[in-house]
Structure 1
Amino acid sequence: MSVDAHKALKQHDLSGMWIGVKYLSVYYSPEDLRLLPEPQDLVFFASEQEAKAQGFGPIPDSLRLTEKIAEMLLEQPALTVQQLSENLRHTPHQVIRAFKKHTGMTPKQFAQLQKLERFREELAHHSITRSLYEAGFESLRALYERSSGFLGMRPRTYQQGGKNMTIFYDTFDTPFGFMLLGSTELGVCSLKFGDQDTLLQELQQDYPKAQLVQDAEATRLYREALLDYLQGKTQTVEVALDVRGTDFQWKVWQALRRIPAGETRSYAQVAATLGEPKAVRAVARACASNVVALVIPCHRVVRSDGSISGYRWGPERKKEILDWEKR
């Protein structure tokens, strides 16, 4: 039987065990697990055979490479793709392709996010100016321009209707209906169910001043991540996002992504996890504001009695997705 992840981590006794990561459906040996996920995402097995029997597969080479890249960038955010490729003995194309496949962003974008994290840490102890330089930013403008991949779309960009912005999009069928996927250079900005004409009109209405370009190649890696989920290979859609949301909405959306596939939470439970038990209606509004179906799994939130509640793309579709995830 699998061993409780929290207990094993607390005791630091991982010898002879295999570690399964739930949302990836892959298993590691303790030596392979370079960047430890959150404990609630882990399950432990006594043997490789037991992990396979539970539906977990071995870590793919591309994910192993991605973790090595991330580990190096956490230590040295200034490393270029060329330097990474030389250190890891892979071509720059292999480095970018593997990293973007599993994270939805390029190594350069990831390094910028690390700067943002370091800036926040420095800000707790120093002035803004000193914190900027300690984190590797050369100016306030640089911080502002690079923050969107972590904080969501810049308010000004959204308020100006996507002015001077190019949004690539593609459409395709899924088991749950026709979808349109839109993405910027930083991540997915729209993923909705509907019919093609209506979806394209909605995207143009959301970003009236943006240039919309149908490009299957530009959106391919995001589409592949979605298809991996729809084929049962992963339990979440792992892509970078570039959507506009308030701080509270982002907190809700992040909480939704922590709900395991096959499980549900009530609006009240989500509010409680945020430390704001009275914010049930605000949680419901945040779910209704979600513009990236499946990536932010608002379908996993139900009423307190467990019954299916409203869903932007129809309660029948919500039930179908939940039933499929449970199976």
Structure 2
Amino acid sequence: MRYFTSPGAARAAGLRPCKRCQPDGQGLPARDTGLVERLCRTIEAAETPPRLGDLAAQARLTPGHLSRLFKRQLGITPRHYADAVRDERLKTALQATGRVTDALYDAGFNAPSRAYEAAGKRLGMTPGAAKGGGTGQVIRYAIASSWLGRTLVAATQKGLCAVQLGDDDRDLVAALSRRFAKARLEEAEPGSPYRQWIDAALAAIERPDLAASLPLDIQGTAFQEQVWQALRRIPAGQTVTYGELAASIGRPTATRAVAAACGANRIAVIIPCHRVIGKDGTLTGYRWGPERKAKLLKAETGTRKPIP
């Protein structure tokens, strides 16, 4: 076995990069991109989540190799993608059917206990509460001043579900109420775990490096969560275009869908959609105003960005 200090030194010795995984490439080979996309469609069409071994056999790969391909392109494993698809089905079925039990089986869960476990982790509420638009769910919130203006932070028992920026406290509460129309809103008590998360979120607005450790209750679709996870991987001080963000999740032609997912983000700053800019370098839209976006980018990069 020979060791080299750099890829260039290995090439000079007559070696070449692996043609299968292309370690020096900017993305997956086209054949692997197509393979992952086909397997995603297989997962989406299956009544119950396919086993990793079955997917690997279909792809003629080892399970480990297949998992690495998925993680490289989508940032998640086949199992996580299947879970997200099933959870999205559950949310849709809960709104469409009259019975919770029917929705659980329609979504592909083979036992109610598994559905309730998943709902607690992914929906932040029980299936019955999700069916009723958050009925019975309690959301604690607090409003404070930050350097971006009045800031409302809200949390469920699973984590932060909203960070909103504005100028008027009543408007902020009204927006939260519309977002969770049938949930019960309560102000977070000082010293409670909710208040600790809220205080940590306010601190992360001042120090972006603190945001990664915060628990989130995102409650989005599988595609939205994929985009939001990619947003959280953009380091403070850097920006990407919508096209670059779409390419990073293996959907280079889904620029508009990615932009829509950024616009649907309700957790300002913590999920940093402000780090996505237009192809020509302009700031484009921002739910909480282009001035705030410019301030955020200036604080993170030390340079002033043009306000369109």
The CA deviation string for residues 97-152 of structure 1, in whole angstroms up to 9 with x for no partner, is: xxxxxxxxxxxxxxxxxxxx99948x99xxxxxxxxxxxxxx83232222246534
Q: Note if 1:302 corresponds to 2:274.
A: no
- The amino acid of 1:214's aligned partner reads E
> Corresponding residue for 2:171?
198
SS of residue in 1 equivalent to 2:230: helix
SS of residue in 2 equivalent to 1:147: helix
> Corresponding residue for 1:58?
none
Tell me by how many angstroms 1:167 deviates.
0.8
Structure 1 CA distance for aligned equivalents of residues 79 and 264 of structure 2? 27
Structure 1 CA distance for aligned equivalents of residues 175 and 208 of structure 2? 30
Paired residues for 1:207-226 under 5 Å: 207-217=180-190, 218=192, 219-226=194-201
TM-score normalised by length of structure 2: 0.58
Structure 2 CA distance for aligned equivalents of residues 267 and 119 of structure 1? 25
Q: Note if 1:240 corresponds to 2:215.
A: yes
Q: Note if 1:280 corresponds to 2:250.
A: no
Structure 1 CA distance for aligned equivalents of residues 238 and 211 of structure 2? 12
> Corresponding residue for 1:171?
143
- The amino acid of 2:177's aligned partner reads Q
TM-score normalised by length of structure 1: 0.55
> Corresponding residue for 2:118?
147
Structure 1 CA distance for aligned equivalents of residues 225 and 292 of structure 2? 24
Structure 2 CA distance for aligned equivalents of residues 158 and 291 of structure 1? 18
SS of residue in 2 equivalent to 1:234: helix
Structure 2 CA distance for aligned equivalents of residues 161 and 203 of structure 1? 13
Q: Note if 1:325 corresponds to 2:297.
A: no
Q: Note if 1:262 corresponds to 2:237.
A: yes
Q: Note if 1:160 corresponds to 2:132.
A: yes
Closer, same or farther in 2 for the Cα pair 1:230/1:156, shift >3 Å?
same
Tell me by how many angstroms 1:245 deviates.
1.0
Q: Between Structure 1 and Structure 2, how many residues are aligned?
A: 198
Structure 1 CA distance for aligned equivalents of residues 215 and 119 of structure 2? 11
The CA deviation string for residues 295-324 of structure 1, in whole angstroms up to 9 with x for no partner, is: 110000000122111000001100100100
Tell me by how many angstroms 1:158 deviates.
4.3
Structure 2 CA distance for aligned equivalents of residues 149 and 280 of structure 1? 31
Instruction: Decide whether the 8 Å contact of 1:237 with 1:294 is kept in 2.
Output: no
Closer, same or farther in 2 for the Cα pair 1:193/1:231, shift >3 Å?
closer
Instruction: Decide whether the 8 Å contact of 1:236 with 1:261 is kept in 2.
Output: no
Structure 2, unmatched stretches of 5+, are: 1-5, 7-75, 84-109, 303-308
Instruction: Decide whether the 8 Å contact of 1:266 with 1:301 is kept in 2.
Output: yes
Closer, same or farther in 2 for the Cα pair 1:156/1:325, shift >3 Å?
farther
The CA deviation string for residues 247-292 of structure 1, in whole angstroms up to 9 with x for no partner, is: 1100000000000001000000000011111000000000000011
Structure 2 CA distance for aligned equivalents of residues 267 and 254 of structure 1? 14
Percent sequence identity over aligned pairs: 37
Closer, same or farther in 2 for the Cα pair 1:319/1:216, shift >3 Å?
farther
Structure 2 CA distance for aligned equivalents of residues 303 and 206 of structure 1? 27
Extract structure 1 runs of 4+ deviating beyond 6 A: none
User: RMSD across aligned C-alpha pairs, in angstroms?
Assistant: 2.9
Tell me by how many angstroms 1:226 deviates.
2.0
Closer, same or farther in 2 for the Cα pair 1:190/1:234, shift >3 Å?
same
Paired residues for 1:109-148 under 5 Å: 120=79, 140-148=111-119
